[in-house]
Amino acid sequence: MKDILNKLGGKSKKDFLKLLYTYQKVIDYNIICSITSVDGSIIYVNDKFCTVSKYSIEELIGKDHRIVNSGHHSKDFFSEMWTKIKAGKIWHGEMKSKAKDGSFFWLDTTILPVYDSYGKLDHFFSLRLLINDKKKLEEEKKEHARALQDMIFLTSHKVRLPISNILGIANQMEDCIDSKEELKEMIEYLKQSALTLDICTKEFSNFIYEMKKENSFFES
């Protein structure tokens, strides 16, 4: 305490407490906070936690964080988290949670073990930042990647096949054609292949146009 006061220019303990109070207000305004007992029971949540989860303080106190479990993460995910914090280590990760109304939200979570004056693990202090926008952008990029993969497949199979057909027919036409019927059949096959190629080319052009309209894929 003295070291901190000295760094603050010799401010009094009263000034220091005011500073801590201001600091707490800033944290509560921007960060989702909770404190749990060693067994995981919630003993404190700030207003930001209630706003995001849509649960009241009364509904949260005494419960554990399974009340906002989205079911997205595996048992191993939580097992690794508990093993780490019970060993006195800080855990950090991204967690998908579920609000009371059924909506989902993503949190960048840091959990810190806190010890009492005797060095015994007393409770866990959690700080969380809402990262819905970040996860939405990541999902959009994944969707773009999947769409691009589909277009690559389309180009490889649906576009190259009619090109191969046209080249094959052209090579055959260079050889002897015995009848007009045979010639008509080959010409019709060429027309169908060219039409298929034209349709695929339009699909590819539309795809590129839509990607440019969304911008995020090309700007990332």
**Separation between Cα atoms, residue 25 and residue 165, nearest integer Å:** 71
Q: Which of 78-82, 136-140, 185-189, 207-211 has the highest mean pLDDT?
A: 78-82
Q: Alpha-carbon distance 68 to 104, whole Å? A: 9
- Predicted confidence (pLDDT) at residue 170 exceeds the cutoff of 90: no
Predicted local confidence at residue 217, as pLDDT:
46
Per-residue confidence (pLDDT) for residue 220, from 0 to 100? 47
Strand, helix or coil for residue 12: coil
* Token duo for residue 97: 């949670």
Does the global pTM surpass 0.85?
no
What is 142-195 written as a DSSP string? HHHHHHHHHHHHHIIIIIHHHHHHHHHHHHHHHS----HHHHHHHHHHHHHHHH
Asked whether the beta carbons of 86 and 112 are under 8 A apart, the reply is no
Under 8 Å between Cβ of 108 and 126: no
> Chain-centre distance of CA 173, in angstroms?
55
